[in-house]
Structure 1
Amino acid sequence: MKNTNVLAWGILVILSLVWGTSFILIKRGLEVYDAGEVGAIRILAACLFLVPVSIPRVRKLTSKQVKLLFLIGMVGTFGPAFFFAIGQTRLDSGITGVLNGLTPIFTLVIGALFFKQKFNKANYLGIVLAFIGTVVLLTAGSGGKFSEFNFYAFFVVLATACYGTNLNVIKYYLADLSPLVITSVSILLVGPLAGLYLVFGTDFSVTLATQPGAVKALGYVSLLGIMSTSLALILFNKLVQLTTPIFSSTVTYLIPIVALTWGVLDGEVVLIGHIIGVLAILLGVFINNRRKAKAANVKV
Structure 2
Amino acid sequence: MPSAQSPLPLRLAWGDWALLVSVAVTWGSSFWLIKIGLEDFPPETVAWLRILLGALALTVIPGSWRPLRHPSDWRGITLLGVIWMALPFVLFTVAEQHISSALAGMINGATPLVTTVFAVLLFGHALGPRLVGGLAVGFVGVLIIGLPNVEGAASLAGVAMVLLAVTCYGLSFNISGPLQARNGALPVIWRIQLVALVVSTAYGAPGLADSTPTLTGVLAMVALGSLGTGLGFVLFAILVGRVGAPRAAINNYLVPVVALVLGAGLAGESVAPLSVAGIALVLVGAYVATSSGRRRVPPTPG
TM-score between both structures, scaled by the size of structure 1: 0.82
1:173/1:54 CA distance change after superposition, 3 Å: closer
1:39 to 37, 43, 47: 47
Does residue 278 of the first structure (1) align with residue 279 of the second (2)? yes
- Once the two structures are superposed, the pairs formed by residues 194-205 of structure 1 within 5 Å of their partners are 194-199=200-205, 202-205=206-209
1:79 to 87, 96, 113: 87
Partner of 1:269: 270
Structure 1 unaligned runs (5+)? none
Answer whether contact 1:37 1:204 (CA < 8 A) is retained. yes
Question: Aligned AA for 1:235?
Answer: L
CA drift at 1:218: 3.1
Partner of 1:182: 188
Question: Aligned AA for 1:295?
Answer: R
CA deviation profile, 1:243-270 (whole Å, cap 9, x unmatched): 7878755422221111101111111112
CA deviation profile, 1:190-219 (whole Å, cap 9, x unmatched): 2233333333xx331242xxx2x4453233
1:119/1:6 CA distance change after superposition, 3 Å: closer
Aligned-partner Cα distance in 2 for 1:47–1:217: 19
Answer whether contact 2:54 2:229 (CA < 8 A) is retained. yes
Does residue 158 of the first structure (1) align with residue 164 of the second (2)? yes
Does residue 235 of the first structure (1) align with residue 235 of the second (2)? yes
1:108 to 107, 112, 116: 116
Q: How many aligned residue pairs are there? A: 283
Percent identity over the alignment is 24
Name the Cα RMSD after superposition: 2.9
CA drift at 1:75: 1.3
Runs of 4+ in 1 over 6 A off after TM superposition: 145-149, 241-247
Residue 90 of structure 1 aligns to a residue in which SS?
coil
Aligned-partner Cα distance in 2 for 1:170–1:240: 8
Structure 2 unaligned runs (5+)? 1-11, 297-302
Question: Aligned AA for 1:81?
Answer: F
Partner of 1:290: 291
Question: Aligned AA for 2:294?
Answer: A
Aligned-partner Cα distance in 1 for 2:115–2:246: 14
Partner of 1:99: 107
1:276/1:193 CA distance change after superposition, 3 Å: same
Question: Aligned AA for 1:25?
Answer: L
TM-score between both structures, scaled by the size of structure 2: 0.82
Aligned-partner Cα distance in 2 for 1:63–1:169: 16
